[in-house]
Amino acid sequence: MDNLQHEQYEYARNRIRQKKNVFRHFLLLLVGSLFLFIVNKILAVDKADDWYAWVITAWAFLFVLHFLKVFITDSFMNKNWERHQIDKLVSMQQKKMQKLQAQLDAERQQETDAAQNQNP
């Protein structure tokens, strides 16, 4: 297996692990929410206050963030996107360096021409 195939395999394995963890998180959210509901309503732990709803809401918000990270953010901001951005920035930096080098060469040429004109 060459490096490219190995890298693709590792990327695919990592993505599968991320997606599997999102589904586990979802199942844990469902089971945990049911448990919190049972504790609050059926076992009558602080029956006057619906504290479980706040916990479930916060947990659901964290699940949504996890889902967005895996299925939205990581799907387009992956290694290929990262490489493209690095290549783009390196290219811009090289163009700036070439421009500065051209300016420096032009200034040196002007200084050389001026020195030659003073010493005929």
Q: Where along the chain do its domains lie?
A: 1-75, 78-120
| Whole-number Cα distances in Å, 8 to 41, 74, 82 | 49, 15, 15
The predicted pLDDT at position 111 comes to: 85
**pLDDT (mean) for 102-117:** 87
Q: Which of 53, 27, 20 shows the shortest CA–CA distance to 39?
A: 53
- Cα–Cα distance for residue pair 52/67, rounded to 1 Å: 22
Residue 32 has pLDDT above 80, yes or no: yes
Tens digits of residue pLDDT in 45-66: 767 778 889 999 999 999 999 9
Q: Are 52 and 37 in contact (CB under 8 A)?
A: yes
Q: How many other β-carbons are positioned within 10 Å of the β-carbon of residue 52? A: 19
- Cα–Cα distance for residue pair 56/65, rounded to 1 Å: 14
